[in-house]
Structure 1
Amino acid sequence: MKSFIISILCLFIAAGAFGQVTGRIADTTGKPVPFATIALKRSADSAIIRSAAVTDTGTFHINSVQPGKYILLVTAAGYQAYRSAIFDVGRGLQANLGRLIMKQTGRQLREVVIRAYKPQVQQTAEGVTVNVQNSIMTQGSSILDVLQRSPGVILDQHNNTISLNGKTGVMVMIDGRLMRMSMDQLITLLGGMSADNIDKIELMNTPPAKYDAEGNAGIINIVTKKNKKRGTNGSITLTGGYGMYEKASAGFNVNHNTSKVNLYGAYSYWHSHDYGGLYATGSENAEIVGGQADFSYTGISKPISNFNDGTVGADIKLDTGTTIGGSVNYWGGGNTNNPHNYGYYLFANAPSLTYNSLFNSSAHLGNAITNFYLEKDLAGKQKIRADFDYLYYNARSQSGSQSSFTDDRGNAAGSADSLYSPMQRSFGNTLIKVLIGKLDYSAQVNKKIKLEAGAKATYSRTAARSAIEDLENGIWVPNTVGAANNFVTYESINAGYFSFNMQLDSATSLVAGARYEYSHNYTDKSADTNFRVDRKLSRLFPSVFFSRKLNDHSSWEASYTERITRPSYSELASYVSYNDPVSVFTGNPLLKPTITRNLKFGYNYHDYLFSLLFSRDDHPILGIQGTTGPVKGVVYLRPENADWQNSITLQATIPVKINDWWDMNYTITGGLRQYKISFTPQPFEKIFVAGSFNFSENFKLKHGISAELSGYYNSPSYSANWRSYSNTILNFGLKKEIGKGNLKLSVTDVFRSGRYQSDVGLLTTDAFNTRVHVIYNTESRLGTIVKLTYYRPFGSTGIKNREKRDSGSGDERSRL
């Protein structure tokens, strides 16, 4: 890794030794000639060194030019070719050729096709956009795989968390619809969805007022491809692969688009046989079975997942200013798993104990989303849109176990009615229904001011039932942790927003707005009256975005936003599920929402992107923490609130183009973080520096072959009483054009480094005197994952005539 970083630094130093060529292309009247093609040739042999496209203002800029003598050739449809005189480019200097005049030919072409390639990472006022289809690794991957390779996104597969720029309070959207489910359920969903039809990923750490204020870390919006071609067209994708076990996926999409009606549909199937290995060693106070103990624990899991994802929809133009449409999306399937858990506990003043358990578990998940919308253009450059959405999520799981928990003489631990019955079973059912209505209005007040306003109402009902039972004397009875829970929660969120987009001058713009939200969350039944919830929250969330263009190549921006993270429905639910003989998973109905304030500065120079974000979180929600509960000595694993968290985050995206066939892209994200914890016996504060590094090397070879080398590095970091170790992943992809289609080979985790390590109990002493070292090995740690994908488009081509749609359920689905 050290030599790899040194190589990258050398490339940066070498890039600084190159020169630049700039200028402006105009016609004989002085008007710019947009989209002309620039070719930089070496004067000695006329070899083409660089090429570029002129912007819509007629300017061009060519980077990474080695010192020497060159000639510039400019071509454009309808103009005579321009050839410059020989000029010099000095080391580290800029050769400004000034205004170059092109003469018109007087001839017209029937059709001009312009092909452009988007940068892999683009900066926006809200954050950054990753154009994932630029990567060979995308097709054949799951959405979760693609997210894990995105800059600033860290996936912790052991704790099932997704963080953005070091913060875990992130909301995930698909086409503007929030995925309202727990993080465990969300990771299962994204891991079972193919990324073949993903266009881009928007990483928004400071979303504007038109988005829901949910998510203290921001919003990850996964945008699917929108077919804009006239006629009937689509594509098919087939993938097969192997790691330790088999992988397969298949999908197609079809679109029929006329001037009045657009019909579309897509289907994908995903099969994955995976592996996970958990290894833990350490000590804790297992008072319920003997006191302080040294232990070792192993858990091996080999889940098999099968999921289906389908979408059908239509857009209909009733007249030139009115469009109606609707869509139905269903994702569903299930997984089976037969994990084997083994543990050994050594006590100072009690017999040693051995735990051995074989599980059989299954889960069935279903998620349906329906949307209907009406969009109408009004007089005076006004537009109104109404959306009505219904979201349905159903998860059913059950498991059984045959366990032994015995001392070194073969005697069973605990009593006959304890948590350690040789035969146990558990079930969990979650049903979530969400109804959303949304109305948006926009008006171009004048040339410099645009107004946007809207209202949104969300109503949801969540029913969660769960239980653990022991087999005693041939009868299934509730175990000592607690009886079956039947937890129902309701939530209503009413919101309104407005924003003004003002062009202060030709180079300066200001967007100022605010979003008001009133929410009411309450329960009607709980197994414990102490967990009754009746919470109301009313708050205004302001947002201000200021940007200024310095010249044709650079600009800067500043913004201030406020956001909220409400606990997910499952985090609040007082369910109980089995983990091991001394611990259970449960929810926490007493969780508080997180309030966040963000101040951000950004600077762009060509494709170089820099941003600095200051944020303050009050009561950030942490993942699973070991706490005490109703049964003395049992570890209750549940989410908790920290007191506060401060972050200073710097992000830099640096593209480097070596030549026409080799370009690179590097993103560095990191900074200073500080937080305070008070739910432990001894409150404490922690301050540390952490970050991540993403890179991609893209090679365009001959004969329709291209290659990609990509990967990421995550530094050590801290969360609550945990310390996570660093980890590094390197991937490789190869693509070959075959007729109208292509064949792609992807190799994930080339060096088998998919290991996550962490220490628990280093920062303070918890209620169980825990000090544990945890290792989690993913499948790629034991076997590099290799996949082969075939992709082929079909059908007609035509003009673009379908716009991206955003339904009213925008922010609900992430809290299911």
Structure 2
Amino acid sequence: MFVFFSFGLFSLVAQSNEITVSGTVIESGTNMPVEFATILIADSSTKKAKAGATTNENGKFNLTTTASNFYIEISFIGFTTQTITDFIIENNGIDLGTVTLSENTAELDEVVVQAEKSQTVFKLDKRVFNVGTDLSSTGASTLEILNNVPSVNVNIEGQISLRGSTGVQILINGKPSVLASEESNALGSITADMLEKIEVITNPSAKYDASGTSGIINIVLKKSEKKGLNGSVTLNTGIPNNHSIGLSLNRRTEKFNLFSQIGYGRRTFPRESETASLDKSTGTTLTTIGDSDKNEKFFNIILGTDYHINDLNVITLSGHYAFEDETEHAFQNYDFTDDTQMLTDAWNRNELTTATNPKWEYELQYKKDFKGTKDHNLLFSALGTSFGKDKISNFTNTTTVGTIENSLQEAHTEFVQNEYTFKLDYTHPFAKKYKLEVGAQYVIDDVNNDYEVRDFENNVWQTNTDYSNVFDYNQGVLGLYTTFAFEEEKWGVKGGLRIEDTNLKTILANTNEKNNQKYTNLFPSFHTSYKLTDDVSLQAGYSKRIFRPRLWSLNPFVSFRDNFNLSTGNPNLNPEFTDSFEITSIFKFNGGSLNLGVYHRATEDVIEHITTFEDNVTISKPSNIGTNNATGIELNAKYTPISWLTFTTDFNYNTFKRKGLFESNNFDFSGNRWSSKLTGKIKLPADFTVEATGGYRSKYKNVQSEVTDNLFMNIGVRKKMMKGRLNASLSVRDVFASRNRESITDQVNFYKTSFSQRGRFITLGLSFGFGKGEAMEFSGQKRF
């Protein structure tokens, strides 16, 4: 009884000596609450902590202490610490009221300098490439940045492939967009300083769009939500003619977050090409040598706002406008020789092309978070995109040898594409280990392409009906999905099912040729992971994918730029279907990590371009040619042997077996291809960083041709100044001008070689960050 009495008396005395300290912490200038600020009560003599707490989401705090001689310290990263020694105790309480913290610029800059992200992060079903650590991308376009992403390749024509396959679905912020389509040539209008990260999803779950037999590349744009007024300015200049300026601004208040990005520039893209076609039946050869300079002025702007209705509900409204004004001069020289290699005919073809390309994107998004459970939310978005092209090309054919008559031609394109995406996603975690996802998506794609070619005959422009028509394309895809996941500390599993209904209609208006397709398909997916140790993990996945023929593959118009090297679409194409399997292991070790995986893809109704040859004219047309089975191995590694030196590498090898029959021709063959990339980054004194990337892509076969190998190198240098507020970067892409494309086609009746290259690009970039905005590591350039 005595012990309990003594303890109770002691507790009463202690309680009577308790002092409650309370208040609210806000940010100077914006008066926004500072969440997670640290409140410390320390002994005035020993400076030792006696009690502590952090502020809540409203900036409020409340804590108690029994100390008698103390001071109060309030701090948060990036702000000047407040030390309070003068306070009044009333009724065992101290009310500090509102405490204002001011930004500590020096401290904030130190955090920015040191908190550099890892370049590539591996997750269960995707890899995330954090834009901003790759120095050689200074002044680069989005497509050029993709060339530095593991497993991704963009050839000189701008065609994207993943693990050697071109069946890739490109998303922007997780949704289909005209701005990411090949038809709009628009990825270049998304400047590099607008990118947050690039996600590579080789085996997507059922939550994602089923398009893309080789996987999905998701381009995530930046949207700052830092409090107050923040931003950055970027400036680029380079050789060949490459000049641009960009501005990023963000203003965050308690209810609104306003964000914008603006870019303007002009640049030139040179190109050299050479082809030679031998007619084996006659021995005649046609050689073409050409060069061109494409000059562009471009402008793009993103404007948007988040309205925080309350802590659980947010509405976002955003718009993106891009405009390009193009002028291109091209010159081609044709030499025609007989079977004795004697020149019989020669002529020049001069081209002047002008085009305007307006692009629009607008989105309304609503997100609702639910109380009690993290990641329990409902997300709805309505996205509209539009792309237009008004293009006029004038051709002058001048004979220099032989009797071919001089001629004039022109081509006019009026192209309009509208795409609308409606998406609803619901995520519900429960019981800590389980997660349910359900959702729906409807995508409408509507295109009108009016194409007319005219010949100047008898002093009158006459329409060439063989090359002129109006092509209408309309596709609607409805998708429904559900996934269910279980995850504990060492083991996780996720399964899902997606159903997609496709309705496609095309028509050639002038000739009333119609093609309608309607099909419904199921797309299951399965992923699992197991953590053997803290440093060793295993992952496995399966998904079924579809590759729907894209617009230009269906469009039967014949290209008219080169009369002897033509290409056309095929409105009767069927979609490809792929079963994709993958097993990956992840190893972490002192100073680095290693990702090693094997994969297998089985594809039906493979789409290939078949080239036919007649009278020295080659025509390329896509067709469904049999099946393809590809098995490969992939390795990604990062190693930092010492603090100032880092190596990253990417290696991919696959072997494939083709089976196909087309118009009584057997297209069975097998082959392999591999690619490798090595990057070294060195941090030097005085805040200098140097980075060099070398890459190699082996030769490989396709249905009719062999594409030669390719070796290239990029170099970048960066200097940080003003504690990271100002960055200066120099990049040299394709240092030795060796990144080209060369193919050889050897068939029964003809032999053809083709070569093209872009050359070296040198760019100097400057970036300055203000407010809490960080200086960009590089800034933007448009694609080819």
Is TM > 0.5 for Structure 1 vs Structure 2? yes
Q: Deviations over 1:38-68 (max 9, x none)?
A: xxxxxxxxxxxxxxxxxxxxxxxxxxxxxxx
Instruction: Identify the match of residue 110 of structure 1 among 75, 80, 103.
Output: 75
Cα contact 1:154–1:164 (8 A) shared by 2: yes
1:492 alignment partner, one of 473, 476, 481: 476
The one-letter amino acid paired with 1:218 is G
Q: Distance between the aligned counterparts of 1:518 and 1:468, measured in 2?
A: 37
Q: How does 1:231-310 map to 2 (within 5 A)?
A: 231-242=228-239, 245-284=240-279, 293-310=284-301
Matched, 1:776 2:770: no
Q: Which residue of 2 aligns with 1:365?
A: 357
3-state SS, counterpart of residue 256 of structure 1? strand
Q: Which residue of 2 aligns with 1:696?
A: 679
Deviates more, 1:377-386 or 1:195-204: 377-386
- Which residue does 2:497 correspond to in 1? 514
Which residue is equivalent to 2:221?
A: 224
Cα displacement (A) at 1:263: 0.6
Q: Deviations over 1:285-321 (max 9, x none)?
A: 79xxxx5521211111111122111100011111222
Cα shift at 1:108: 8.4
| Residue of 181, 191, 201 corresponding to 2:198 | 201
Deviations 1:659-708 (A, max 9, x none): 11111111111221222343466222221121111111111111111111
Paired with 1:345 and 1:444, the residues of 2 have a C-alpha distance of: 70
Moved more, 723-732 or 571-580: 571-580
Helix, strand or coil: the match of 1:232? strand
Bigger mean CA deviation after superposition, 680-689 or 653-662: 680-689
**Residue in 1 aligned with 2:37?**
none
Give the Å deviation of 1:258: 2.1
TM-score by length of 2: 0.80
* Rounded Cα–Cα distance in structure 1 between residues aligned with 2:145 and 2:578: 27
What residue is the counterpart of 1:725 in the other structure? 708
Contact 2:144 2:154 in 1 (8 A): no
Q: Distance in 2 between matches of 1:181 and 1:233?
A: 27
Is the Cα contact below 8 Å between 2:232 and 2:773 reproduced in 1?
Answer: no
Summarize the alignment of residues 147-546 of structure 1 with structure 2, pairs less than 5 Å apart: 147-158=146-157, 160-180=158-178, 184-185=182-183, 188-242=185-239, 245-284=240-279, 293-348=284-339, 352-378=344-370, 381=373, 382-404=376-398, 408=401, 410-412=402-404, 422-479=407-464, 482-503=466-487, 505-528=488-511, 531-546=513-528
Closer, same or farther in 2 for the Cα pair 1:479/1:796, shift >3 Å?
closer
Deviation at 1:365, TM superposition (A): 1.2
What is the TM-score of this pair, normalised by structure 1? 0.77
SS of the residue 2:146 aligns to:
helix
Shift of 1:190: 2.6
C-alpha contact 1:206 1:561 (8 A) present in aligned 2: yes
Q: Give the C-alpha shift of residue 536 in structure 1.
A: 0.5
SS of residue paired to 1:592: coil
Letter in 2 for 1:794: F
Deviations 1:66-114 (A, max 9, x none): xxxxxxxxxxx999xxxxxxxxxxxxxxxxxxxxxxxxxx998834577
Task: Report the RMSD for the aligned CA atoms in angstroms.
Answer: 2.6
Distance 2:456 2:574 in 1: 37
| SS of equivalent residue, structure 1 residue 692 | strand
Tell whether the 8 Å contact from 1:301 to 1:337 is kept in structure 2 after alignment: yes
Corresponding residue for residue 567 of structure 2: 585
Instruction: Give the match for residue 744 of structure 2.
Output: 759
Distance 1:161 1:232 in 2: 39
1:251 CA displacement: 0.3
Residue by residue over 1:572-624, the C-alpha shift from the partner in whole angstroms, topping out at 9 and shown as x without a partner, is 122233133334332210111111110000111112111211101112223x5
Q: Which residue of 2 aligns with 1:130?
A: 129
The equivalent of 2:649 in structure 1 is 666
Deviation at 1:403, TM superposition (A): 0.4
Cα pair 2:178 2:387 within 8 Å, conserved: no
Paired with 1:183 and 1:341, the residues of 2 have a C-alpha distance of 29
Q: Does the alignment pair 1:794 with 2:770?
A: yes
Mapped pair 1:746 → 2:731: yes
Once the 2 structures are TM-superposed, how far is the Cα of residue 199 of structure 1 from its aligned partner?
2.3
Return closer, same or farther for 1:495/1:728 CA change in 2, 3 Å cut-off: same
Q: Conserved in 1, the CA contact under 8 Å of 2:279 and 2:616?
A: no
Contact residue 469 and residue 508 of structure 2 kept, 8 A:
no
In the aligned structure 1, how far is the partner of 2:140 from the partner of 2:180?
A: 22
Instruction: Name the counterpart of 1:620.
Output: 606
Alpha-carbon distance in structure 1 between the residues aligned to 2:758 and 2:442: 41
Equivalent AA in structure 1 for residue 151 of structure 2:
G
Q: Which residue identity lines up with residue 387 of structure 2 in the other structure?
A: Y
Residues 493 and 506 of structure 1: CA distance in aligned 2, closer, same or farther (over 3 Å) = same
- Largest Rg, 1 or 2: 2
Q: 1:201 to 1:192 in 2, by over 3 A?
A: same
Deviation, structure 1 residue 127: 3.3
Corresponding residue for 1:33? none
SS of equivalent residue, structure 2 residue 132: helix
Give, in angstroms, the shift of residue 330 of structure 1. Answer: 1.1
- For residues 487 and 753 of structure 1, the distance between their equivalents in structure 2, rounded to whole angstroms, comes to 39
2:670 counterpart residue number: 687
User: What letter corresponds to residue 160 of structure 2 in structure 1?
Assistant: I
* Alignment partner, residue 417 of structure 1: none
Decide whether the 8 Å contact of 2:138 with 2:763 is kept in 1: no
Q: Is the 8 A contact 1:677 1:720 kept in 2?
A: no
- CA contact 2:265–2:297 (8 Å) conserved in 1: yes
- Out of 714, 720, 723, the position equivalent to 2:697 is 714
Give the conservation status (yes or no) of the 8 Å contact 1:121–1:653.
no
Instruction: State the shift of 1:468 in Å.
Output: 1.6
SS of the counterpart of 2:143? helix
Taking a change above 3 Å as real, the CA distance of residues 702 and 633 of structure 1, as seen in their structure-2 partners, is closer
Amino acid at match of 1:329: H
In structure 2, the residue matched to 1:604 is 586
Q: Say whether the 8 Å CA contact 1:671–1:691 is kept in structure 2.
A: yes
| Alpha-carbon distance change, 185 to 435 in structure 1, aligned in 2, over 3 angstroms | closer
Specify the alignment match of 1:53 in structure 2. Answer: none
In 2, distance between residues paired with 1:397 and 1:211? 35
Q: Shift of residue 351 of structure 1?
A: 8.3
Q: Distance in 2 between matches of 1:676 and 1:440?
A: 40
Cα deviation digits, residues 359-412 of structure 1 (max 9, x gap)? 111222122111001112346644222111111111221101110357x5x312
Paired residues in the alignment total 664
d(CA) in 1 for partners of 2:528 and 2:141?
36
Distance in structure 2 (CA, Å) of the matches to 1:612 and 1:176: 26
Q: Which residue of 2 aligns with 1:42?
A: none
Identity %: 24
Shift of residue 192, structure 1, vs aligned partner: 4.3
In structure 1, the residue matched to 2:13 is none
